Amino acid sequence: MTIRPAPSYSGGTLPRFVAVEGPDGSGTSTQTRLLAEALRHRGIGCHVSLEPTGGPVGQLIKRILRGEEPGCIGFRETERLLAHLFAADRQYHLYHRDEGLAKLTSEGNVVLSTRYFFSSYAYNARTEEQFELIDRLNRDFPLPEAVVYLSCPVEELLRRLNSRPHLELYEKREELSRVMEAYDRILEPIAGRVVRADSSLPRGEVHEQVLAGVLKLLGVEQA
């Protein structure tokens, strides 16, 4: 079944918001941390966040992904449940009264999030039906001002993931390949706000590419 090529992207843009995306094992957490350090070094107020969040729904999502929720039996049913849970957690992430992304960016901070709704489309939209569900749940959420996408050869991703104590639901060869193809499809319509980097390169080199691209998209002059 053919999947619609891209999401609706109808929720406007949240200024000073940067999402860092990529398949599992691509180094999203590391590059988010390095980017935050570099922005702070330049005197730019910066907050770091991630999805799933540390909130109550985010904690449930993490347990499901680790296989620690025995009530989640069927793969199809679990993916549908995750689509709803991620959308609820995302609402919490964006609009929490004290720590929401919207509040933090309105105060002049740059906010970096390891993962955002792009992950829902890339990981959970296998069919047209699933795509439509995820699009309904996420279409009103704002786009980031910049998106960092870290690509990486599947063999390198597997090498990194196999060093972890436990693999999660999507950390398998066929899943990683499918997810990367999906990312290419959903990011193409917003290519002008996407910073792409090959995370199999040395960490410092990847960071320099990411930093230069993000500074440009945010309209910040490089020192």
What secondary structure letter does DSSP report for 191?
Answer: G
**β-strand 143-151 against 13-21: which pairing, if any?**
parallel
Of 3.30.460.10, 3.90.950.20, 3.40.50.300, 3.60.15.10, which CATH number belongs to 13-218? 3.40.50.300
Beta bridge partners of 194: 147
Q: Which residue has the tokens 């995370």?
A: 199
Length of the chain equals: 223
Specify whether the CB–CB gap between 136 and 12 falls below 8 A. no
Q: What is the pLDDT of residues 48-93, one digit of tens each?
A: 999 999 999 999 999 988 888 877 656 677 888 999 999 999 999 9
For position 90, what pLDDT does the model report?
98
**Cα distances (Å, whole numbers) of residue 108 to 15, 72, 135:** 9, 41, 29
Asked if pLDDT for residue 3 goes beyond 70, the answer is: no
**Cβ-contact 60, 69 below 8 angstroms:** yes
pLDDT value at position 5? 64
pLDDT for 156-209, tens place per residue? 998 888 766 555 545 577 888 989 999 999 999 999 999 999 999 999 999 999
Q: How many CB atoms lie within 10 A of CB 75?
A: 10
* H/E stretch holding 148: strand 143-151
What residue segments make up the domains of the chain, in order of their start? 13-218
Percent of the chain predicted with pLDDT > 70: 91
